[in-house]
Amino acid sequence: MKKHLLLLPLLAAAVSGCPSNSLKTANSSDSKPDLLHAALDTTVAPGDDFFSYANGTWIKNNPIPASESSMGIGKKVQEEVYARLRQTSIEAAKANAAAGSNQQKIGDFWAVGLDSVKADKLGATPIRAELDRIAAMKTVAEVPGVIAREIPLGVRALIGINVSQDDKNSEKMVLTLRQSGLGLPNRDYYFNTDSRTANIRAEYLKHVTNTFRLLGQNPATAQTNAAKVLALETSLAKSSRKLEALRDPYANYNKMSIAQLNKLTPGLDWKTWLTQMEFTGVDTVIVGQPEFYQNAAQLLRTTPLDDWKAYLTWQLTRTFAPTLSSEFVEENFRFYSSVLRGAKAIRPRWKRVLDMQEDALGDALGQLFVKEYFKPETKARYDTLVKNVVSSFAEHIQKVDWMSAPTKVVALEKLRKITPKVGYPSKWKDYSTLTIDRSSLAANVMRANQWQYRYELNKLGKPVDRTEWGMTPQTYNAYYNPSNNEIVLPAAAFAVPGLLDADADDALVYGYAGASTIGHELTHGFDDQGSQFDAKGNLHEWWSKEDRQRFNQRVAGIVKQFNGYTLLDSLHINGAATAGENIADLGGIVIGLDAFKKTKQYKEGKKINGLTPVQRYFLGYALGWQNHTRDESLANQLLTDVHSPAQYRVNGPMADVPAFYEAFGIKPGQKLYRPDSTRVIIW
């Protein structure tokens, strides 16, 4: 994926070419706005900190709101889409729309979501039946059945089960099992000994205790149960793999028959358990982390029933806390948003409801979105941009000196077969079987989760639908899917706040969309993970042994480079975990640049506000990472995210690009300067 944790609904009107005064700058009626020049902080030398040079003034003028853990270009555009989706939802709630229509579902979801008085009156009532089901268990033998009930509701209890394409046979949809079940972001939070993480663990224990008290438990019982939850989750964390280990597709591919899975997990009857989870006729499963499931089975044999009751009660309640009364909402915010990510105030309720509505009815909103905000002429521009960047990548593959001629032939064939999906899908999800009403927000979220679960379950054993999108068009993100060998580029990924598409020069567009989005996603097909999948989307080694060795040497160079970046005094970037994204950033920059060099703007060489076309190209790339983050959120990112922090997604790859040195006159002695011998060159 391109962006860091920005799976958010964003407005594409900025690139639609249609009138939109709210997106124009104050002087745009008289002249084209120059967002790149306006964002510069010329007190910073480009060769010392290009990120701050490119974005410094913008960052100074856009402080992080109290309700947010970060502020960036994505959040700015998000404000525009929120305004429009809010109006759409208000109108739908008043429309008295036909029962079962998308408008009725949008309207009812919005109306009950905004009704805080009703939510406060209901308290924990919307999840009471599920809480009672957990409390009624008499023996540990009943635990798997209760877990089977909770998982379709969206509760991540113990196991992670889903349907996906078989990594080694992309034509087949298979059942997969992956590690799951933790309340903290990942395993490292349970074991790291630094004071920051130790404090988070202490606050987590307090948070679980407080949540149990909100459910009516007395202080002593709540504290005891919270300790049981932490102990059980710590046991699960011990058998969970680290972030970087999860990136090895071969090590995380273990196909088993049901009989082999039963043997791996003594005491578990998977045929019965899968049937309880609505999966029938399953004969094989792919287990991502076998040691996790061995441990889970052992815990189901040895952990007392009361511990499981505490754990399942907690996992259920934390899942739906944001939908319940204000006391649950505020306690959930205190830990997950404030302690973990540094937010100072809770976000307005209407924004939180819109986020839930996006998860539940994203395609219904997407249809309205593209109709108004992503016009055909805009799609045509970015379709052409994709073709130009693909052509540039082909030229780079042909020229690299570390790849042999036979492997280049296969690489070019894979590139030729990458399917680009630009803007929005050709067909939309059908929500006709999803019931949305005004009973409670929690009930709607539960039903939406069940609908999504069964939507995915229904794919098992059926032909792969390669037309499907994994993101809505109003999502500010993009991705490469190795199993489909496709890049998916939602309309919102091209949005620039305050700028109409007609006012965006090619230098900005090629840097912002061509490099940091299109080129980035294309190179994911050839990074340390994506390169292990062939043109048909199958996990298969198509490189020669020598090519792979030479490639891995370059990957080791970028891992070493990013391991050397230290933040927050003692934390550093995990070069192995972030390698794929760092490779894609570097590749996107050099590929996008050569595509830009074929444009009229580059050939004419005219300056705009004193900036050359190539300088504007690099600034356009930096525009995509116009973001700053609270320390708490940054620390969380370093432990949990395969993307490097924004500053290093700019400064890191730029330090390896010779054209950047030339464009800004980077000299030895400046902080970003790296000798030729240490610069990483892949594409």
Largest Cα–Cα separation, the chain: 78
Rounded to the nearest 5°, which phi and psi values hold at 402? Answer: -100, -10
Query: Distance between CA atoms of 508 and 615, rounded to whole angstroms?
Result: 10
Which pair of tokens denotes residue 535? 């043109």
Q: What is the pLDDT of residue 187?
A: 97
Which pair of tokens denotes residue 636? 């969380």
Q: What is the pLDDT of residue 81?
A: 78
Instruction: Report angle CA 160, 163, 167 to the nearest 5 degrees.
Output: 100
Is residue 369 within 8 Å of 491, Cβ to Cβ? yes
Candidates 523, 527, 583, 588; CA nearest to 557 is: 583
Query: Distance between CA atoms of 393 and 518, rounded to whole angstroms?
Result: 11
- Confidence (pTM): 0.93
Return the half-sphere exposure (C-beta side, CA atoms, 13 A cut-off) of residue 416.
Answer: 7
Query: Distance between CA atoms of 653 and 122, rounded to whole angstroms?
Result: 52
Q: What is the pLDDT of residue 376?
A: 87
Tell me the residue type at 49: D
Strands (E), 393-522: 419-423, 479-481, 486-490
Residue written as token pair 């760092």 = 582
Instruction: Give mean pLDDT in consecutive 10-residue pieces for the chain, a chain of 683 residues.
Output: 38 28 34 92 98 98 97 89 88 95 97 98 98 98 98 97 97 98 98 96 98 98 98 98 97 98 97 97 97 98 98 98 98 98 97 97 90 84 97 98 96 98 95 98 98 97 95 94 97 90 94 97 96 97 96 97 93 96 98 98 97 98 97 97 98 98 98 97 96
Q: What is the pLDDT of residue 2?
A: 59
Q: What is the pLDDT of residue 7?
A: 29
Query: Distance between CA atoms of 31 and 382, rounded to whole angstroms?
Result: 24
| 462 burial type by CB count under 10 A (0-12 exposed, 13-18 middle, 19+ buried) | exposed
Query: Distance between CA atoms of 341 and 602, rounded to whole angstroms?
Result: 42
Query: Distance between CA atoms of 2 and 74, rounded to whole angstroms?
Result: 12
Which pair of tokens denotes residue 601? 């703007």
Query: Distance between CA atoms of 77 and 83, rounded to whole angstroms?
Result: 10
Candidates 491, 487, 457; CA nearest to 473 is: 491
Q: What is the pLDDT of residue 368?
A: 84
- Cα 81 to chain center, whole Å? 19
Query: Distance between CA atoms of 547 and 391, rounded to whole angstroms?
Result: 22
Helices (H), 25-96: 35-39, 50-61, 73-94
Q: What is the pLDDT of residue 1?
A: 67
Give residue-wise pLDDT tens across range 526-571. 999 999 999 999 999 999 999 999 999 999 999 999 999 999 988 9
Query: Distance between CA atoms of 487 and 404, rounded to whole angstroms?
Result: 25
Q: What is the pLDDT of residue 77?
A: 81
Q: What is the pLDDT of residue 12?
A: 28
Question: What domains are there in the chain, each with its CATH number?
Answer: 13-18+38-85+352-678 (3.40.390.10), 125-323 (1.10.1380.10)
